[in-house]
Chain A
Amino acid sequence: MMISQLIAIAKKDIQDALRTRTIFIMTGFLLVASMVSIAVTHTAMGGRLPSDYSVLEAMRGFVEHLEIIGSALAILLGYRSAANERGHNTLALVMTRPIRQRVFLAGKVFASVVLICGCLTVVFVSISVEIMVLTGVGLSTLEVAKLAIGFASTGLYMTAFFLLGFLFALHLKHLSHALLTAFSIWLVFVLIAPQIGDTLDPDNQAVGGLFSQLSVPHAQEVEIMNKLGTYEVIRTGIEQLSPSKHFERLTFALWGIKGSYIGMPLSELLSAKIIDILWLLGYVLGLGGVLFKRQVNFTGD
Chain B
Amino acid sequence: MFASRYIMTAALRANLRDQTVLLIAGLFIVLVLISAYLGWSATATVQDVYLKVVEAYAAKGQIAPPNPVPDTPPLGLLRNMATYVALIGALAGLVLGNKTVSGDRKSGVYALLASRPITSSGIALGKILAIIIAITGLLGVAALTNVITFMILPNFSLSADEWFRLAQFYIASDLYVISFGLLGAFFAITSRSEAKSLMIPVTIWLTVTFIIPQLTANVLPMAALNPLKAMAPAPSGAFFVFTQSVLTPISFAEAYRALAATLLDFAPPGFKFQSFISPMLTLMIVNGLLISAVVVAFGKMDASRSAYDD
A interface list, Cβ under 8 A from B: 29, 33, 36-37, 40-41, 43-44, 46, 60-61, 64-65, 67-69, 72, 76, 79-80, 83, 87, 175-177, 179-181, 183-184, 187-188, 191-192, 194-196, 198-200, 202, 204-207, 210, 213-216, 220, 224, 227-228, 231, 248
Contacts and interface: CB of A to CB of B under 8 A. Distances in A.
Nearest to A245: B222
B7 to A, nearest CB: 21
Given A207-B232, A214-B53, A231 B23 contact: no
Contacts of A187: 27, 87-88, 91
Contacts of A214: 50, 53, 64-65, 68
Contacts of B227: 199
A60 B221 CA distance: 10
A200 B211 contact: no
A180 B56 contact: no
Contacts of A207: 228-229, 231-232, 268
B95 interface: yes
Contacts of A204: 226, 228-229
B115 interface: no
B310 interface: yes
Given A64-B221, A214-B50, A227-B52, 8 more contacts: A43-B235, A67-B221, A180-B20, A187-B91, A202-B42, A202-B45, A207-B232, A214-B65
Q: For chain A, what secondary structure do more than half of its interface residues adopt (helix, strand, loop), or is it mixed?
A: helix
Contacts of A76: 195, 199
25 contacts: A36-B211, A40-B214, A40-B215, A44-B235, A175-B195, A177-B20, A181-B23, A184-B23, A192-B31, A192-B88, A195-B225, A198-B229, A199-B80, A199-B226, A199-B228, A200-B45, A204-B228, A204-B229, A205-B42, A207-B228, A207-B268, A210-B46, A214-B65, A224-B56, A231-B41
B57 to A, nearest CB: 9
Contact of A69 (B68, B88, B210): B210
Nearest to A84: B310
Classify chain B: how many residues form its interface, as a range.
35 or more
B239 interface: yes
B155 interface: no
A67 B222 contact: yes
B226 A195 contact: yes
Given A44-B235, A61-B214, A224 B38 contact: no
A29 B24 contact: no
Contacts of B4: none
Given A176-B194, A196-B38, A40 B221 contact: no
Contact of B215 (A36, A67, A220): A36
B145 interface: no
